[in-house]
Amino acid sequence: MATWMYLLHAPREDFVTTMTDKEQNIMGIHFLHLRKKFLEGEILLVGPCLDGKYGLCIFDAENETTASEFMNADPAIAMGLMTGELHPYKVSLLRKSEEVDVGKK
């Protein structure tokens, strides 16, 4: 099993503050999808950059093909709202956290 990461590229600079209702709906579906994958143990870390330009997902997959399939199944990508950029990844240092926010959606 290898670790992978993908960046989600927002469609525009001010995306976070200018999302349409349709875009908000897609982002809600995106969050629920990632939350499910996280709770199933497939995702190590996920979250947005606070400047709104990128999102980040770090996860495990057998190989590049399955990693690409995982990334492309993200509703934000699959529904054409965002683009993804896949990279092999290695966690070198990780601070232990006692609390993980999996959201209430």
38: left (phi > 0), else alpha (psi -120 to 50), else beta?
alpha
H/E element, 47: strand 43-48
The rounded mean pLDDT for the chain is 92
Q: What is the pLDDT of residues 30-62, one digit of tens each?
A: 999 999 999 999 999 999 988 888 999 999 999
Domain ranges of the chain: 2-88
Higher pLDDT, 82 or 14: 82
Domain 2-88: which CATH number of 1.20.1260.10, 3.40.50.10490, 3.30.1330.10, 3.30.70.1060: 3.30.70.1060
Q: What is the pLDDT of residues 58-105, one digit of tens each?
A: 999 999 999 999 999 999 999 999 999 999 999 999 888 766 666 654
Q: String of b and e for 14-24 (b: at least 16 CB within 10 Å)?
A: ebeeebeeebe
